[in-house]
């Protein structure tokens, strides 16, 4: 009798924890995640991922908030600053990542992956992953995974290069020489085209050249580094390119650059984004179908240094669904989902996806794009990049329109940046 009683008691102690665990699981019930991102094709990509994910995980529902960039950024900052926890996953433009990371607003993905018993997939391109780390280094803490792999590319008219016996530009000196030769021989064709509008446009278009000349906006300690011989060489060279650009190039933005390229009025474009490339081979838009070659940027004293424009996804620290959000994030950045997203025109961040035969057939420049990404350079990791970018772009445009010399403009811009950072 005592033995039977003892056995019953032991069984009771074994069953109670299992019962409590089961009740706990039932109490949690269905999970709802809220993703806040961009509108247009960015939102379409998330919808595709959600549709596939909920089929596999019917207990999870995901709301996708699709907003214009400025509105999305504002809502995210307000919510995370107040630790409200409205959102479980957020889309982050990589220059804004440092602000979120430094403030402690994002969940530590290294810890969440460790808790899950997983490691970061090395198929994700390391230069893009690095932008999700803070401090910005290979061993920094991971706060975001790369979702969309934008990177600047370079385009030249291969028909004109063949006509004049020119090879693909390996250095920026080759770009200048080719621009001079082609413009001298071709009526109504400019040697080169680029965005000249102050602020972000001229800054983005010039940074691959700036970096290739060995110049930096900030030094390794985060101090302004514009007043240097390398920076002067870069801006003086950029000014030389202007001689072979369209008149009024200082007012050129994306629309004007694409128009010059598609119409055949430009032999080279020193800044092309992946979203612009399909139009080059669209007969309804382009007069240079089959004539434009997409490639990586030239080097100079340093190797090719294209600018990265990565979109990251992070999990707010205030979210109450870290584990579920991570599961969807890993699905979203997984290979099969990235293939589906790439098919609608958004570039992936996995090297293997860039090498998919079906995608290369649709996007023949993908092998070049992945090479550019692997050499890509991120914008300086500072919470004040927007102010620094505006200063850089304003003074470079003053050089472009002849209002200041490169040396004077760089010295003054350097001083302005110091004021901002101090």
Per-residue model confidence (pLDDT) at position 114? 98
DSSP 323-377: HHHHHHHHHHTSHHHHHHHHHTT---SBHHHHT-HHHHHH-TTHHHHHHHHHT-B
Mean pLDDT (whole number) for 79-100: 97
- The pLDDT tens digits for 339-350 are 999 999 999 999
28 pLDDT tier (thresholds 50, 70, 90): low
Domain that holds residue 213: 153-307+380-421
Is the pLDDT assigned to residue 10 strictly greater than 50?
no
Do the domain assignments include residue 168? yes
Residues 69, 129, single domain; the answer is yes
Contact 268, 178 (CB under 8 A): yes
Are 176 and 164 in a shared domain?
A: yes
Q: Please give the Cα distance from 212 to 299 (Å, whole number).
A: 5
Mean pLDDT (whole number) for 101-114: 98
Q: Which H or E run includes 149?
A: strand 145-151
Does the pLDDT of residue 336 top 50, yes or no? yes
What percent of the chain clears pLDDT 90, i.e. is strictly above it?
93
- Determine contact, residues 253/204, Cβ cutoff 8 Å: no
Cα dist. 108→78, 332, 380 in Å? Answer: 20, 18, 22
Residue 29 is predicted with a pLDDT of 76
**Domain CATH for 162:** 3.40.190.10
Q: Does 264 share its domain with 408?
A: yes
CA-derived radius of gyration, the chain = 25
Q: Determine the pLDDT at residue 19.
A: 41
Whether residue 258 is found in the same domain as residue 384:
yes
Give which of 179, 196, 137, 217 is closest to 392, Cα–Cα: 217
Query: Quick one: 293 and 331 in the same domain?
Result: no
Number of domains the chain is built from: 2
- What's the pTM value of the predicted model, to 2 decimals? 0.91
397 and 356, same structural domain? no
- Tell me: do 313 and 210 sit in the same domain: no
Residue 91 pLDDT greater than 50, yes or no:
yes
Q: What are the tokens at 157?
A: 């008219």
């Amino acid at each position: 009798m005592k033995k039977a009683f003892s056995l019953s008691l032991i069984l009771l102690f074994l069953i109670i924890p299992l019962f409590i665990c089961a009740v706990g699981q039932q109490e949690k019930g269905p999970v709802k995640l809220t993703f806040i991102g961009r509108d247009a094709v960015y939102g379409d990509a998330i919808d595709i991922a959600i549709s596939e994910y909920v089929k596999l995980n019917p207990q999870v529902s995901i709301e996708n908030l699709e907003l214009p960039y400025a509105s999305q950024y504002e809502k995210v900052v307000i919510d995370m600053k107040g630790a409200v926890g409205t959102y479980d996953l957020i889309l982050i433009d990589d220059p804004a990542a440092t602000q979120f990371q430094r403030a402690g607003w994002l969940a530590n993905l290294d810890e969440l992956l460790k808790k899950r018993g997983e490691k970061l997939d090395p198929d994700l391109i390391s230069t893009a992953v690095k932008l999700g780390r803070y401090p910005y280094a290979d061993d920094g803490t991971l706060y975001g995974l790369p979702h969309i792999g934008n990177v600047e590319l370079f385009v030249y008219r291969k028909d004109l290069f063949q006509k004049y016996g020119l090879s693909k530009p390996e250095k920026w000196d080759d770009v200048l020489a080719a621009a001079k030769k082609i413009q001298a021989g071709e009526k109504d064709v400019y040697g080169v085209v680029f965005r000249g509008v102050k602020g972000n446009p001229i800054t983005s278009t010039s940074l691959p050249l700036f970096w290739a000349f060995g110049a930096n906006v900030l030094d390794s300690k985060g101090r302004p580094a514009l007043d240097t011989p390398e920076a002067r060489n870069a801006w003086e060279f950029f000014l030389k390119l202007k001689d072979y650009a369209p008149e009024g190039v200082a007012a050129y933005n994306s629309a004007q650059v694409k128009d010059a390229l598609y119409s055949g009025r430009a032999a080279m474009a020193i800044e092309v984004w992946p979203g612009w490339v399909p139009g080059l081979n669209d007969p309804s838009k382009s007069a240079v179908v089959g004539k434009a070659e997409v490639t990586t940027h030239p080097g100079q004293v340093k190797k090719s240094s294209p600018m990265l424009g990565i979109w990251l996804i992070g999990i707010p620290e205030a979210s109450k669904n870290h584990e579920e959000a991570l599961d969807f994030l890993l699905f979203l950045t997984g290979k099969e989902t990235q293939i589906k997203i790439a098919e609608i025109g958004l570039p992936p961040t996995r090297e293997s996806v860039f090498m998919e035969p079906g995608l290369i057939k649709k996007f023949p420049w993908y092998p070049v794009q992945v090479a550019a990404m692997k050499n890509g350079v991120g914008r300086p990791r500072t919470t004040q990049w927007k102010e620094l970018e505006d200063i850089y772009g304003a003074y470079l445009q003053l050089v472009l329109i002849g209002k200041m010399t490169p040396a004077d403009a760089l010295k003054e811009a350097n001083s302005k940046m110091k004021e901002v950072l101090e």
